[in-house]
Chains A and B, each alone.
Chain A
């Protein structure tokens, strides 16, 4: 499968627990982006990472959220002490080069986080 792989597809967490969302980019892509879609809204940028570096995290909430893209393995979006407002679909995308292009990114199928 040459696409962006996200897991889990669905994740249910109780308030106060931690959520870990994983993303494996398209093979050969070294640029990863995380977006969040709240109900009835468009996708909102969260963070852009290259291998071992956070390039732009301007869309990340200041607290409880972190992201990494290690040298080996998938990118991880981590949400600590989840609250109901974190319930959303989280999409990962990848690209072979930095930045936006007129062909867009390749998106994964998303992780739907539900906080109960």
Chain B
């Protein structure tokens, strides 16, 4: 059972426009969610997180929105830059364990 899902494997956006990456989840008990960014041949790097008690968290060009009733979160990047081209993973901690559950990732390409 895939508890964290990213249904869009890829997304292309023009430089300067908004990028919206989506993530759905099935477990309403997740305490928080994270977004990781991954460049080719590198490890994932933490980008931004959101607590389940909030509906928005903002850090510079990156904003994450959480819609608990829809079990949906989204990462907004505005304005998008070519350096944002990477694979983005959403993840959530499995309750009572040390594990993160990752989505399958969305490859973002920002076109100059």
Contact = CB atoms under 8 A, between A and B. Distances in A.
A33 interface: yes
Contacts of B93: 99-100
Nearest to B44: A107
A69 interface: no
A41 to B, nearest CB: 6
Interface string B14-57: 00000000000000000010101000011111100101000000
Interface residues of A, number: 32
Interface in A17-47: 31, 33, 35, 40-45
Interface string A91-116: 10100001110111111111010000
Contacts, number: 74
Given A91-B43, A109-B42, A104 B98 contact: no
Contacts of A105: 46, 100
A43 B102 CA distance: 6
B99 A102 contact: no
Contact of B43 (A4, A98, A103): A4
B63 interface: no
Contacts of B98: 31, 33, 45, 48, 55-56, 98-100
Contact of A56 (B45, B91, B97): B97
A73 interface: no
Contacts of A35: 102
A109 B102 CA distance: 17
Nearest to B97: A56
A100 B100 contact: yes
A59 interface: yes
Interface of B: 4, 6, 9, 32, 34, 36, 41-46, 49, 51, 89, 91, 93-94, 97-105
Interface of A: 4, 6, 9, 31, 33, 35, 40-45, 48, 55-56, 58-59, 91, 93, 98-100, 102-110, 112
Given A56-B98, A102-B34, A103-B46, 4 more contacts: A42-B102, A104-B36, A107-B36, A110-B43
